[in-house]
Amino acid sequence: MEIPRPEHPRPDFQRSNWLNLNGPWQFEIDQACSGAERGFTSGREFSKEIIVPFPPESILSGIHELDFMRSVWYRRRVRLSGSRNAGRCLLRFGAVDYEADVWVNGHQVGHHKGGYTPFAFDITEVIGNEDEAEIVVHALDDNRTGLQPCGKQSTKYESWGCHYTRVTGIWQTVWIEEVPKTYINHFRIISNAGTDHARLEVEFAGNVAGGQIHAFVLADGKEVASSQGPATFPSTSLRLEIPGPRTWNPEDPQLYGLRLELELHDGEKDVVQSHFGIRTVGIRGDRIFLNGDQRFLRMVLDQGYYPDGIYTAPSDEALRRDIKISKEMGFDGARLHQKVFEPRFLYWCDMLGYLVAGEYGDWGADLGNSTAREAIISEWPAVVRRDLNHPSLILWTPLNERAFEEGDAVVPGFLRQMAELTHALDPTRPVIDTSGYIHVQSDIHDVHDYEQDPKEFGAHFDKFGKTGSYSDLQQHYKEQGDPYRGQPFMVSEYGGTWWSPDAQEDETRWGYGSRPGSRSEFIERYRALTGVLLSNPRVSGFAYTQLYDVEQEVNGLYTYDRKAKFETGVIREINRRRAAVEGE
């Protein structure tokens, strides 16, 4: 069969020598979690077949099991390249929800915890000179405990409200990568608009003594800059002088190619291909700036769900299409909501000029429990590390709608800790500590407001727009948290208006507020609600809920299968109206 999702999963960190392991794997559901005792770790035939990388709850997986699956197993035999020489063989996973144990040829090669982040195991020693390898993966996932983050995945048997079908096990590409004995492990590139250089930091795995690192910058396929230096452990810094640099922005998403070459003393070479954009996100007072220009953020909420793949897009084109349909309606970007999106989505955001806020799927984890807090704080750095080179990603939102009781010192302390950690990991982007509710340390002050009456909605912000005083601002849990410090203000969830004419009598479906009686009535409500925010001189951005329907939540501008509910040009005209802050 044709390999599903055949494209390289990490275009931001790509080697040429790799093997895609998507496609049919043996599969077993192990509700009693007794598979290891029954010999599942090696040599055991499983009774089902699943199509990786689609989760077993999905139609595309071929399993389509919607009940809870606390324990599942995968098995596949893989034919290997015969030219491995003295290099290393890495088995890589884009993401497995939630815990994963991996065996190769009967040897356990590693364990990973966290449903959103990539991981890799060096399997060189266990495969030796064999032409084939048996790979077995055991995934544990139980989002009913309150101890693990699971985003919008339902903790009930059925989907309900804004909680959707669960995802278990492998849900991103699995691949094998061949590298030299010493290789490039990670890199970070930092650039600023208005300067003619970028700073590159390259990390290595293995003994780099006597090695050299070369970096080449390309524009339209032609080399325009380069730098080199001795490879030093654990990392080397290089300065890249870029003649006549062009900045990256949504109107002109100029990207530079980046090729890294590590030359080792024994003649081996490791080559990694990537890209970067030159852009700067800044805050001055209560305004947001992109490349030194004041920016109003026109965003939409994107849940990252697909009818046939759930968490996993059916194709690379489906990722690209979601950006395209959003831009057609006049949005410049999206809040990537309660899920860490796959790297290829961010690649298309970079390519197409689409601004995004990176969020973690923290729902499901009880912040009052130390084990749950540890689960979040241990995985979040890997999220930031994976994505920090994408120019399209302009702000971080580690948590969403977190509140706490008066007198609680634990949760607000954790919110502050997450904000400080994010800044330490990436000092180049603003951080919203927890979106929409109580802020304790936030570079942007945001609220969520689903009031459907435009007059009442306007009244929530009108006085604040005149005075800039926190006392004049309508907000959830207003008396808790830190007071407003005059930072940029945005309404990062609003609207969510119920509209699904084919389901008027289906009360299991829902949206916010009373249902409009017609498309024209919906448009007028959308125009009025959005106009409130565009007209307010102290609002620096919005994120409308939402781009498309998700299962029973039918408040999208598109249906779940991405068909426009309204004329795209009309929505675009409303969204692109000049904002008050843009007139300054």
CA distance from start to end of the chain: 58
Q: Work out the mean pLDDT of the chain and round it to a whole number.
A: 95
State the CATH class of domain 292-583.
alpha beta
Task: Check pLDDT > 70 for residue 83.
Answer: no
Average pLDDT on 33-37 reads 97
Q: In the CATH scheme, what is the homologous superfamily, with its name and number, of domain 23-172?
A: Galactose-binding domain-like (2.60.120.260)
How does pLDDT run across 128-164, given as a tens digit for each residue? 888 899 999 999 999 999 999 999 999 999 999 999 9
Q: Where in the chain is the domain with CATH 2.60.120.260?
A: 23-172
Residue 148, H or E segment: none
Report d(CA 60, CA 288) in Å as an integer. 41
DSSP notation for 374-433: HHHHHHHHHHHHHHTT-TTEEEEE-EES----TT--HHHHHHHHHHHHHHHH-TTS-B-S
Confidence of residue 473 (pLDDT cuts 50, 70, 90): confident
**pLDDT at residue number 471:** 87
Q: Where in the chain is the domain with CATH 3.20.20.80?
A: 292-583
Backbone angles phi, psi at 318, to 5 degrees: -65, -35
Report d(CA 136, CA 26) in Å as an integer. 9
Q: Left (φ > 0), alpha (ψ -120 to 50) or beta: where does 244 sit?
A: left
Average pLDDT on 449-478 reads 92
CATH of region 183-191+194-276 = 2.60.40.10
Confidence of residue 196 (pLDDT cuts 50, 70, 90): confident
**Paired residues of 539 in beta bridges:** none
How does pLDDT run across 385-404, given as a tens digit for each residue? 999 999 999 999 999 999 99
Task: Check pLDDT > 60 for residue 504.
Answer: no
Report d(CA 83, CA 354) in Å as an integer. 41
**Residue the block writes with tokens 């329907």:** 549
How does pLDDT run across 219-273, given as a tens digit for each residue? 999 999 999 999 999 999 999 999 999 999 999 999 999 999 999 988 899 999 9
**pLDDT at residue number 483:** 80
Q: 3-state class of 343 per DSSP?
A: helix
The dihedral sign for the CA sequence 118, 124, 127, 129: positive
Write out 17-62 in H/E/C secondary structure.
Answer: CEEECCEEEEEEECCCCCCCCCCCCCCCCCCEEEEECCCCCCCCCC
Task: Check pLDDT > 70 for residue 368.
Answer: yes
* Helices and strands (DSSP H and E) totals, the chain: 9, 33
Average pLDDT on 111-140 reads 96
- Helix residue ranges per DSSP H, 244-341: 316-328
**pLDDT at residue number 169:** 98
Least confident of 76-80, 226-230, 436-440, 500-504: 500-504
Average pLDDT on 528-537 reads 98
